[in-house]
Amino acid sequence: MFWFVGLIPDFATLRDRANSKAFRLIYGLLAMGWRGSARHWHRYEMAYLLLAGLATPLVLSVHTIVSFDFAVGIIPGWHATIFPPYFVAGAIYAGFAMVLLLTIPLRKIYGLESFITMRHMNNMAKVMLATGLIVFYGYLIEAFFGWYSGNHYERFMIWNRMHGPYAPYYWALIFCNGLTPQLLWFKKIRANLVLLWIISVIVSIGMWLERFVIVVTSLHRDFLPSSWGMYQPSQWDWAMYVGTIGFFFALLFLFIRFLPMISIFEMRTILPAAEVEE
């Protein structure tokens, strides 16, 4: 909804620039008769501001509640009070990594350097570093909890994570999400787009590993040895996974093809010619 509202004025621009009747009709329907009236703009800006304000706490609550889904489970490795803040930080961290992963090539291919500047890149990298540190703190504190709880099952869970059959996944996770983002402390690395892109790929892999470690390593050694087992993704698991990525990119490319990648009207407001001189 937020996304659609943000596009309404741009749909109107696309409608008025369309050079075929079909596009004119489709964009016209989506623009809903937007005509840039001053009264409309005034209410529009107010609605947009309120929506942004409402959406921000929603981000926190969504990830908190997703983490509650784990935390109410009694399985060691799921039943942790650290989950809500660590999931929220993880979501922002993974989100920025994904944005960088997509933005860096798009910016290069479509020549958007003057819209998405190095300052944006630098700031995104800094947010990634900050939230990455929170996530890493979450990993460390999880291990601490396991030891400090004195609970036999909790201790076994964390020991098994580090030294059990899935240990390579755990250490790969620490490498991807704990160590790699430390490179972002250096300004030279934040300014190097190739390195920044590689780091964002590693972080995205790390976030996938995080989910794998939480879900699989916690479940494969349950309270009862009779329910112990190993999980190997089948070819259908992989096909499903690759398919979702393909579906995402198909939609993304359709979006880039038919809709503005960057809000047109918001870019206009920052043009020097948009200044109102008294």
Footprint on this chain of other proteins (rule: CB under 8 A): 1-2, 5, 9, 12-13, 15-17, 28-29, 32-47, 50-51, 54-55, 57-58, 61, 64-65, 68, 265-266, 268-269, 273-278
Find the farthest-apart pair of alpha carbons in the chain and give their distance in angstroms, rounded.
79
Closest to other proteins by CB, 29 vs 252, is 29
DSSP secondary structure code for residue 267 in this structure: H
Q: How far is the CB of 255 from other proteins (least distance, A)?
A: 20
DSSP 157-217: HHHHHHHSTTHHHHHHHIIIIIIGGGGGGSHHHHT-HHHHHHHHHHHHHHHHHHHHIIIII
Q: How far is the CB of 131 from other proteins (least distance, A)?
A: 22
Closest to other proteins by CB, 16 vs 222, is 16
Closest to other proteins by CB, 2 vs 147, is 2
Closest to other proteins by CB, 47 vs 242, is 47
Output b/e per residue, 123-157; b: 16+ Cβ within 10 A.
Answer: ebbebbbebbbebbebbebbeebbeeeeeebbbeb
Q: How far is the CB of 14 from other proteins (least distance, A)?
A: 9
Q: How far is the CB of 60 from other proteins (least distance, A)?
A: 10
Q: How far is the CB of 169 from other proteins (least distance, A)?
A: 31
Q: Rounded to an integer, what distance in angstroms lies between the CA atom of residue 251 and that of residue 163?
A: 41
Of 45, 87, 41, 80, nearest in space to 64 by CA: 87
Q: How far is the CB of 34 from other proteins (least distance, A)?
A: 7
Q: Rounded to an integer, what distance in angstroms lies between the CA atom of residue 214 and that of residue 87?
A: 11
Closest to other proteins by CB, 44 vs 145, is 44
Closest to other proteins by CB, 47 vs 179, is 47
Contact 184, 125 (CB under 8 A): yes
Q: Rounded to an integer, what distance in angstroms lies between the CA atom of residue 11 and that of residue 5?
A: 10
Structure tokens at 41: 């703009």
Phi/psi at 191 (5° precision): -90, -10
Q: Rounded to an integer, what distance in angstroms lies between the CA atom of residue 177 and that of residue 135?
A: 8
Closest to other proteins by CB, 45 vs 113, is 45
Q: How far is the CB of 222 from other proteins (least distance, A)?
A: 23
